[in-house]
Structure 1
């Protein structure tokens, strides 16, 4: 299952880790372990942040994705299920509309 993981890295301890030279090495270890399909770094809520796509077999894999960020950077992680266009097509929206709508548009 594809998940969109939004990571917010607070100013501290990240500033201290940049100054002492450990931030890059730890990020490298985290990414080597998580192996995201893609990751982009950006500003989020005035902090450093990252957005990554990960493919997980089931929800029990979520701690292995978030704990490295929590424990090393005191980060905040938000996780959302991500659908591809093919996934959305498999959802059969027309059938759901028929089942759950009082008014049908023809």
Structure 2
């Protein structure tokens, strides 16, 4: 199941890690561990953030995705299920539409 992990990173402890020169190593280790399909670093509500695309087999994989960001950066994480166009085509929207008229 493809998921979007939306991460909001507060200024601390990130600023301290930047000053110490360790932030790249920490982010690299997290990304190596969670093996994302894609990662986009961006601004989130005036702070640092990222959107990470991951594919998981079941919900029990969620803690391993979020905990590194919580523990290392005190970040806020939101997870959303994401569909490709092919997934949406398989959803049976035609049948749902007639069922819920």
Judge same fold: TM > 0.5, yes or no: yes
3-state DSSP of counterpart to 1:27: helix
Q: In structure 2, how many angstroms separate the alpha carbons of the residues matched to 1:97 and 1:71? A: 44
Q: 1:70-94 deviations in whole A, cap 9, x for unaligned?
A: 0000000010000000100000111
Tell me the C-alpha RMSD between the 2 structures: 0.5
Deviation at 1:22, TM superposition (A): 1.1
1:44 equivalent in alignment to 2:29: no
The aligned counterpart of 2:54 is 54
Unpaired runs of 5+ residues, structure 1, are 102-106
* Residue 31 of structure 1: aligned partner: 31
Q: Hey, which bits of structure 1, 4+ residues long, moved more than 4 A?
A: none
Q: Tell me the CA shift for residue 59 of structure 1.
A: 0.3
Match of 1:96 in 2: 96
Gapped regions of structure 2 (runs ≥ 5)? none
Which residue of structure 2 lines up, in the alignment, with residue 79 of structure 1? 79
Could you state the TM-score of these two structures normalised by the residue count of structure 2? Answer: 0.98
| TM-score normalised over the length of structure 1 | 0.94
User: What CA distance in whole angstroms lies between the structure 2 residues aligned with 1:95 and 1:40?
Assistant: 36
**Structure 1 counterpart SS, 2:67:** helix
Q: C-alpha distance in 1, partners of 2:46/2:12? A: 12
**Distance in structure 2 (CA, Å) of the matches to 1:21 and 1:69:** 18
